[in-house]
């Protein structure tokens, strides 16, 4: 069973179908995932003079030398193979004059970004894999199906209890291996590039049966998400900066020139500088300037994105584009090894829900889609090799049922909105102990509202889930007292700048956690 329908889930389903029958479960539709909205592309080294070593170096440096070196090596080498396999399957990456049109993004030292449809890479990859999933007779797709409980007996995960939204019925799905590919939790922030479904379900589901959650404080903010007063948010791809777009403050000044890589510095640096510029001025955004660039080229390279900007009433040939950071990618998640194994027999995790350590303290642009392909395949290979050794999943436990109390939706929405505000203000791009402790106290007060809610009820379960994740994010941010990558403590010096032993410090944090 695969839970989740982003790139990691779809790829896991196709790989698993080589070994047996597969059930792919998603709480919305196959097209509703963060992967679908991924714009930049997928990073891979397929041509000289670029090298695996160069891509690895960029990944480690962007991650502030905090990453799992073994995981990085696996990502880069197996990722190149995965992209080659996609090309052989017919994935239509962009070409120019018969050659792949490779992009450049922040933190990369070479053009190695494969794109499709310009800034529609995620959509085109998801559509491509969905067509293969739909046509595979070994894969059963269950959309609008909410997983509310992982079945675990004697340290073995044997499937999950689910609720079918439209039928209002319940079922238990048994499986010899279960793979969580449920995505991240940045949808808990008030301003996010992710769909509203990104609420970290996989985290609280797995934690409830004993899985360890790791590095939840590391939340990457995309520097350039579209801004307007209505609250509309969509990505303005980093690829535009790769082609020469310039960031300007409210005075029209270019403010990234003090950095060697300028607008193409790693994302944590760019997001933090934008945040600081916004604090100095009387507008809640900075602007992205494309006016000096070849607009016809952009129309050809990024047609969907340029059209989206125009639909918002702006003309990139004449107008500056308002942008501000938004919660984008969760580096932390369920602790796994490089095979996606969670420590619970029969249960695996891959993609954004998993924390392999591959991104360190700051993800290198366009490594996320690569991560989905590489670690979903590894999880399937490991799971299939061990599945015959497990007790067959003829679980004897009774099916669980959820009560659906519509009155609980008001409490869920109220608490979700309160969490969104707290996280944006106190656990965002810059944090400090005072603000984090205030947020923790507020979250604890919210939890008191649910103390007498012992019944298994749909809205109560979801509310407790998002409260638990928010609580853990804030606690982890308090415990990590020094700044590192996307975790920036304004009341502390930078661990990276001090060049301390990051591995030793990481071990200390895990022990505290």
Instruction: Give the CA distances from residue 17 to residues 38, 88, 311, 326, 401, in Å, rounded to whole numbers and listed in that order.
Output: 25, 19, 41, 36, 29
387/410 Cα distance (integer angstroms): 43
Peptide bond into 49 cis (omega under 30): yes
**Residue 118 half-sphere exposure toward CB, CA atoms < 13 A:** 16
Contact 441/434 with Cβ under 8 angstroms? no
Cα distances from 379 to residues 109, 130, 340, 416, 488, in angstroms, run: 30, 20, 5, 32, 32
- Around Cβ 154, how many Cβ atoms within 10 Å? 7
Task: Record the tokens describing residue 115, joined without a space.
Answer: 């794109």
| Total length of the chain | 513
Chain CA centroid to CA 474, Å: 18
* Closest C-alpha to 36, from 193, 216, 227: 193
- The label of the residue with tokens 């690569």 reads 370
What is the rounded CA–CA span in Å between residue 415 and residue 94? 43
Nearest to 385 by CA among 431, 427, 345: 345
Give the separation between CA 330 and CA 341, rounded to whole angstroms. 19
Active site residue 378: no
Residue with tokens 């916004």: 278
Beta bridge partners of 259: none
Q: Which residue among the candidates 112, 115, 191, 267 is catalytic per the annotation?
A: 267
Distance of alpha carbon 367 from alpha carbon 105, whole angstroms: 11
Q: Which two tokens stand for residue 199?
A: 């609420």
Q: Catalytic residues, which ones?
A: 267
């Amino acid at each position: 069973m695969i839970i989740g329908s982003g790139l990691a889930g779809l790829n896991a389903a196709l790989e698993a179908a080589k070994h047996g029958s597969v059930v792919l479960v998603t709480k919305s539709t196959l097209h509703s995932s963060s992967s679908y909205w991924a714009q930049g592309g997928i990073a891979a080294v397929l041509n000289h003079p670029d090298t695996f070593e160069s891509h690895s170096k960029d990944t480690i440096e962007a991650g502030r030398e905090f990453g799992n070196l073994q995981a990085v090596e696996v990502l880069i080498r197996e990722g190149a193979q995965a992209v080659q396999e996609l090309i052989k399957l017919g994935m239509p990456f962009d070409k120019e004059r018969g050659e792949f049109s490779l992009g450049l993004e922040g933190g990369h030292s070479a053009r190695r970004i494969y794109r499709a449809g310009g800034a529609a890479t995620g959509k085109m990859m998801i559509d491509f894999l969905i067509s293969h999933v739909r046509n595979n007779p070994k894969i059963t797709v269950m959309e609008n199906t909410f997983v509310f409980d992982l079945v675990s007996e004697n340290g073995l995960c044997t499937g999950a209890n689910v609720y079918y939204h439209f039928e209002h019925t319940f079922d238990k799905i048994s499986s010899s291996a279960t793979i969580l590919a449920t995505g991240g939790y940045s949808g808990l922030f008030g301003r996010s590039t992710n769909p509203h479904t990104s609420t970290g379900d996989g985290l609280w589901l797995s934690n409830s049966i004993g899985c360890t959650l790791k590095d939840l404080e590391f939340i990457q903010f995309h520097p350039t998400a579209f801004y307007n007063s209505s609250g509309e948010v969509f990505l303005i791809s980093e690829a535009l900066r790769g082609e020469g777009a310039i960031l300007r403050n409210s005075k029209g000044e270019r403010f990234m020139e003090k950095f060697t890589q300028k607008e193409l510095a790693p994302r944590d640096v760019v997001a933090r500088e934008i945040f600081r510029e916004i604090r100095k001025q009387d507008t809640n955004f900075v602007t992205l300037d494309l006016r000096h660039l070849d607009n016809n080229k952009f129309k050809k390279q990024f047609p969907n994105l340029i059209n989206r900007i125009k639909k918002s009433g702006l003309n990139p040939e004449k107008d500056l584009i308002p942008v501000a950071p938004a919660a984008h990618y969760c580096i932390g998640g369920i602790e796994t090894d490089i095979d996606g194994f969670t420590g619970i027999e029969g249960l695996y995790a891959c993609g954004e829900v998993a924390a392999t350590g591959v991104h360190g303290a700051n993800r290198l642009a366009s490594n996320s889609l690569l991560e989905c392909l590489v670690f979903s395949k590894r999880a399937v290979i490991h799971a299939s090799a061990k599945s015959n050794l497990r007790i067959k999943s003829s679980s004897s436990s009774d099916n669980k049922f959820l009560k659906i109390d519509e009155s609980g939706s008001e409490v869920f929405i109220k608490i979700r909105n309160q969490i969104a505000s707290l996280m944006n203000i106190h656990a965002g791009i810059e944090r400090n102990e005072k603000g984090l402790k205030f947020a923790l106290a507020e979250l604890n007060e919210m939890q008191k509202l649910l103390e007498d809610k012992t019944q298994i009820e749909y809205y109560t379960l979801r509310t407790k889930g998002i409260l638990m994740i928010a609580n853990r994010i804030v606690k982890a941010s308090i415990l990590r007292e020094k700044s590192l990558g996307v975790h920036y403590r304004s009341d502390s010096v930078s661990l990276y700048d001090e060049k301390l032993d990051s591995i030793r410090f990481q071990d200390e944090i895990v022990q505290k956690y």
